Amino acid sequence: MAKDVIISTGAVNCYGTRVLTEGIDLSQYGRNPVLLWMHRRAFDGDAMPIGRVENLRVEDGKLIGTPVFDRNDDFAKQIESKWESGFLRMASAALEPIETSADDALVLPGQTRETVTRSKLVEVSIVDIGGNDEALQLYGEGGRLLKLAAGEDCPGLPLLQLTEEDEPETGDGTGEGNTKPKNQTTAMNKEQLTLLGLPEGTSDEQATAALKLMKTKADNAETLQLAAVTRCVDQAIAERKIVAGQRDHFINLGKAAGADMLADTFKTMQAQTKPTETLRLSKESAPGSGEAPKSYKKLSEVPQDELLTLRKEQPAEYMRLYKEEYGIECPPLSE
């Protein structure tokens, strides 16, 4: 069964920009929906298409399609085998930017270049390392591949513009050569850097990496907390302090209050008893009921005058003591 793949999304990519999925022109590509390997074109040697993309569509802000491999091509068959076996699972779009925008409303955290609002899909490739952050390819004028370093300007994909403060800090008041640049979308102030444990002058890339690390740690802590809460709830069910039907309720309670608070709560709760157990305990503790039942380790410890009563009224206990005494299962008891 053919498998669909996400080709592109509107997330921030390795170029520091993002491509709006709804602005991708699919019309030209739809007339020749080639599928390549690692964005290799015919001018890269003997590279040829390995298939085509069918059922190309946009769903929930994602560009999705179905790779179909050329089974008359030995190399394409190798890629198809790894694809179907799950060893390759990523595809990547090669896009040519047509229009970009510096509108703050379109900028996401970590973005350093203008948003690509309109683009043209050139080709789609199966890749070994995929996703917008790694495999996206962008082409400039004349079909030349864009290779951008951090901070490198490019007419086809401009950096987000710096703005000037209204009042100059020093100088002759003309505002020339003495304004204070500020990147409103990516620059972090001193307080934010301090909270992240970073020094002044930290680059946007370093700040973004610190934020990603902080989020990873928070996600890991949340996972560990949920695991601790779940163990605590399952133990309470095993100890019959709550019933299985209350599991989700107490897990949600533990998420909010914490595993330690939940454990303290369960410590104050008594194990629930069955009605038959309640009746038996009531009978044994009733006035005149005599001493508590004696406990024996093996059958030979039971007084002779109690053996028959034990056999009739507590057959399970009788059979347990029999096994402890003789080391074998007790034969079925008859009336």
Could you list the pLDDT tens digit for every one of the 335 residues in the chain?
A: 668 888 888 888 777 888 999 999 999 999 999 999 988 876 656 678 999 999 999 988 889 999 999 999 999 999 999 988 888 888 888 888 899 998 988 888 888 888 999 999 999 999 887 544 434 555 555 555 555 444 455 666 677 765 544 444 444 444 444 444 444 334 557 777 777 777 777 777 777 877 887 787 777 778 888 888 899 899 989 888 898 888 999 899 888 888 888 888 888 888 876 665 555 655 555 555 555 567 888 888 888 888 888 888 888 888 888 888 888 888 887 75
Cβ distance 69 to 33 under 8 Å? no
Cα–Cα distance, 19 to 97 (Å, whole number): 8
Q: Which of 64, 65, 62, 59 shows the shortest CA–CA distance to 21?
A: 62
Cα–Cα distance, 58 to 293 (Å, whole number): 74
B/e letters for 292-315, b = 16+ CB within 10 Å, e = fewer, are eeeebeebeebeeeeeeebbeeee
Q: Against a cut of 0.75, is the pTM above it?
A: no
The CA-atom distances, in angstroms, between 3 and each of 34, 55, 69, 124 are: 17, 11, 11, 15
Report helix, strand or coil for 228: helix
Cβ distance 63 to 7 under 8 Å? yes
Burial class (CB in 10 A: 0-12, 13-18, 19+), 170: exposed
Assigned token pair, 203: 């680059």
